Structures are given as structure tokens and as C-alpha cells.
Amino acid sequence: MAAAIDAIGECEEAVTACAAAMVGEDDVRVLQDAIVRDLNCADVVAATRRVLSRGSDAALLSAQLEACVLACEHSAELCARHAHHHEHCRMCSQATLRCAEACRQVLHGLHG
């Protein structure tokens, strides 16, 4: 659980920083969908970190972790497309994929 909480915290920082950096880019209109996905991901991972930290009931935790995986995958998908042009997108894509994997591991532990 501690490793997942760390990965989630790192992800929240990465997607927030990436969204802020994209707003300042010259090609901001091309990045709009990625910005929205990063902001959505930031909100979902923040809620997931709080729920996971409290050790809520398994059904709620499972649903929240699944939402976190989905939000991270959606963010990673678009940031990966822009990673060759923007370092913040490369770092964001990596952080969101690590977070999704950490959440999958916790889910596996809940269902295993």
C-alpha cells in the first residue's frame, strides 16, 4: 500500500505540472485534450490517495482504484503522443503508467 500511495502522489505532481506546462506551450490548442485528461487524472489520483490512505471498505477502494487506473491510462495515452516534443509530457506519461500499475497491484491484492 505504501508503494502505491507514493506512486499516486508522484503521479498527481506529474500530471499537475504537465497540465500547467502545456497551458504555456505555443501549441496549447493542440494540447487541450491532454490538459483536460491531466486535470481529470490529478483529481482522481488525489481522491484515490486519500481513500487508500484511510483503508476504506474493499468495494469502495476497488472502485476507486479502477477509476484511478482508467484516469491514468487516459492521461498517459495523450501525453505519450506529445512526449517527443515536450519533456513534461514524457515524464507525465511515465508517472501515470507507474501509477496505473501500482493501482493494479493493489487491486490484485484485494481480489487475490
As its CATH architecture, domain 2-111 has Up-down Bundle (1.20)
Model confidence at 112: pLDDT above 80: no
Q: Global pTM?
A: 0.94
* Predicted confidence band of residue 1 (pLDDT cuts 50, 70, 90): confident
User: What residue segments make up the domains of the chain, in order of their start?
Assistant: 2-111
Compute the C-alpha angle 42/48/52, nearest 5°: 150
pLDDT in tens, 53-90: 998 789 999 999 999 999 999 999 999 999 999 999 99
Q: What is the pLDDT of residues 13-28, one digit of tens each?
A: 999 999 999 999 999 9
